[in-house]
Chain A
Amino acid sequence: QSVLTQPPSVSGAPGQVVTISCTGNSSNIATGSAVHWYQRLPGTAPKLLIYSNVIRPSGVPDRFSGYRSGASASLAITGLQAEDEGDYYCQSYASRLNGPWVFGGGTKLTVL
């Protein structure tokens, strides 16, 4: 069982908006630890998508955006494209009891 909780799957049609949630607790996200997001497309290495809650690395389209509040965070994808289909993971920092760097279980995005 992963420390951070994500929905197992989300789906949307091309052009639509989807949101993926990442829920933590008082030992990780709620302490103010940053949340980062990764994308893993089929057959490829994981790729950093969002870091420090809201920052997109160079080359990541502005269709991807991150948000953090309290003990949770979310990733929004606007203008959904077929190439976005894959797995998405959130990551944060926890107390040494269960970390310190912890991940969500991952969310499978299906583009309908």
Chain B
Amino acid sequence: KNEVEQSPQNLTAQEGEFITINCSYSVGISALHWLQQHPGGGIVSLFMLSSGKKKHGRLIATINIQEKHSSLHITASHPRDSAVYICAVRLGAQKLVFGQGTRLTINP
């Protein structure tokens, strides 16, 4: 079993819909990251969180440490949000373990 599991693997939605991507992990962690990989391949960090909730524009990330679960939400989704969203957890001082990613497609 992977240490980090994301669901769904693929998600297609219409512009304007509310999007939720889930991340579950099986071990104790010190932090969790959400990253975005653009269709061209570039990877950027969206959030790092160890508790609670963070918001940046239309993106919201939450984490429940007790349940070992995090969600990434996108409000008022737009075609430019189409990308692969990656969850990663920090296990040790330098080690990040990455999920397989969720491919999101937003149709106009």
Tell whether A pairs with B: no
Q: Which residues of A contact B (CB under 8 A)?
A: none
Q: Which residues of B contact A (CB under 8 A)?
A: none
